[in-house]
Chain A
């Protein structure tokens, strides 16, 4: 009799669980379908600036994720990360300007971006992973970034120096709707690839390094090698993001190589959630949309000429009240919900 009773209870609990899981996955399905619909319809019903804004959000999200691989997963503060992004943009611009405006040249440019990023990551890693700690690494990477920015500024025949380099892009990138879709596709592919990376055994070791590098070493992990892999992945992703950014803007300038540009990536991961990967996507959207809204508000009231002040305050508020960022907060809420469900089952 008690056995029967027990079975009944268990059945109810199981039912409940199935239902709960289902309801969550239905919620997720609705969310993603809506998002996909929104993203697909948007470029057809919006103006030029909105299309560019969203294209930029997609591309910068990849740049932000690449930064999260380093800071969020490996615990390495790279203040020269813009080297990859800016150089990626410049390489595309230089190739299309000097070698002809066609897809073959673009393909070669992308290949060059990959090789360049990989080499730059190798050199940066060799210098930084020698030891010396987080602060030393931050200083050294910042110096490396300054060196590259200086080269771009001085090498006027090729980069047009401080004026910046405007260029034409192949026809298939001229249509604003098309580049919007390319940018979106780029984001999807890179998100899946980076997700696979952090879920691989190698990606797990990065977490171990972030948490406690000494313990990782004393488990037998050659942590320098793993950090180098992380830097390679991050560098390649950021380089590609830079290349896409150049195709979108048809322009590259030294701003893309500044520490400020690196801090933009840091900002995205902070707002969205460090070490969450997807946080950078939310961060990118939040920052670009906030910035855009504030700039629009200038037409409403002159006080918004000081938009940067508002932007800074919003940023500080977000970091103060959501230290783990949007996605970090969501994750911990979900974890708590799960704990409550388990407890209720008991």
Chain B
């Protein structure tokens, strides 16, 4: 078994009486592509919010490289190498595509609160921003105001922004959600390239066939609880998972 980069222990959060996430212990192995599956409302996004520090858990821990990071702020977690995207596209809408990426690169460059030089005179930041725009296939749209880009382009842009942070682990919340069908393959290509570069990826999806080919590991969440985790085939063929899946629990998908 590969080295465990990140894991949770008994992770739980309750909103009033509602146990949105309940006793979830998962292991994410370094360099692998892990997909979190589960129907809408299962608690997948909430797990991301707990891992990235947006929410504090009611109970349980988040560990990164074996260290307890449950008490760290989101910014401290990003500095450790956790970056995330959001289910609802989360970008800077009235800035250009280039400026969105450039800001992410600037954040990662750790130049601090510089006041006395023009922002576009940081050559290294500019070059890297352009490279990332090429990576997410948006270079020809670099001067477009983001709000005028298509939904799919905005998703790719957000992916570019998190890639700019050069994370150890990339948390992606349904990166293809709402995308036009013809845009999905390019997104999957970008994900594949990112994986091949050695980045650990944890991705949320509610349609199993969407990313099955890319996944090394699967985690299945139902009603806030962990149903199964492990190698792709093993989990996909798990009778309980099949039951939850075919029983209508998993919408919009059929096992392949």
Contact = CB atoms under 8 A, between A and B. Distances in A.
A202 B165 CA distance: 18
Interface stretch (A29-37, A156-164, A211-219, A238-246): A211-219
Interface residues of A, number: 25
Interface string A179-211: 000000000000000001101111111011001
B246 interface: no
B113 interface: yes
B79 interface: yes
Interface in B43-85: 52, 74-75, 78-79, 83-84
A225 interface: yes
A222 interface: yes
A129 interface: no
Contacts of A196: 115-116, 118
Given A201-B111, A211-B92, A217 B117 contact: no
Given A199-B119, A201-B111, A219-B161, A214 B90 contact: yes
B108 interface: yes
Given A218-B84, A220-B75, A200 B92 contact: no
Q: Which of B90, B94, B107 has the most CB of A within 10 A?
A: B107
Q: Which of B83, B93, B104, B165 has the most CB of A within 10 A?
A: B104
A101 B95 CA distance: 50
A295 interface: no
A225 B112 CA distance: 11
Given A202-B114, A218-B78, A219-B107, A212 B92 contact: yes
B122 A220 contact: no
Contact of A215 (B90, B113, B116, B119): B90
Contacts of A203: 119
A219 B104 contact: yes
Contact of A218 (B52, B93, B99, B116): B52
Given A217-B75, A218-B84, A211 B114 contact: no
A229 interface: yes
Given A200-B115, A200-B116, A218-B52, A211 B75 contact: no
B106 interface: yes
A199 B93 CA distance: 19
Contacts of B161: 215, 219
Contacts of A202: 113-115
A226 interface: yes
A221 interface: yes
B78 A219 contact: yes
B99 A204 contact: yes
Contacts of B119: 199-201, 203-204
B103 interface: yes
B90 A220 contact: no
B91 interface: yes
A237 to B, nearest CB: 14
Interface string B96-108: 0001001110111
Interface string A121-165: 000000000000000000000000000000000000000000000
Contacts of B99: 204, 207
Given A201-B106, A204-B103, A229 B113 contact: yes
Main secondary structure of the interface of A (DSSP, over half): helix
Contacts of B78: 218-220
A221 B165 CA distance: 11
Q: Which of A200, A201, A211 has the most CB of B within 10 A?
A: A201
Nearest to B108: A220
Nearest to A211: B92
B117 A215 contact: no
Contact of B165 (A205, A216, A220, A222): A220
Contacts of A201: 106, 111, 113-114, 117, 119, 122
A215 B90 CA distance: 6
B103 A219 contact: yes
Contacts of A221: 75, 107
A208 B92 contact: yes
B103 A200 contact: no
Contacts of A200: 114-119
Given A200-B117, A201-B114, A217 B74 contact: yes
Contacts of A215: 86, 90-92, 161
Contacts of A205: 103, 106
A55 to B, nearest CB: 29
A228 B74 CA distance: 19
A202 B115 CA distance: 6
A219 B113 contact: no
A84 to B, nearest CB: 19
A199 to B, nearest CB: 5
B22 to A, nearest CB: 25
Contact of A207 (B95, B118, B165): B95
A214 B94 CA distance: 15
Q: Which of A197, A205, A208, A225 has the most CB of B within 10 A?
A: A208
Closest 7 CB pairs between A and B? A211-B92, A219-B107, A220-B78, A220-B107, A202-B113, A201-B114, A215-B90
7 contacts: A200-B119, A215-B86, A215-B92, A218-B84, A218-B90, A219-B107, A221-B75
Interface of B: 52, 74-75, 78-79, 83-84, 86, 90-95, 99, 102-104, 106-108, 111, 113-119, 122, 161, 165
Given A204-B103, A208-B92, A225-B113, 5 more contacts: A199-B118, A204-B102, A204-B106, A217-B74, A220-B78
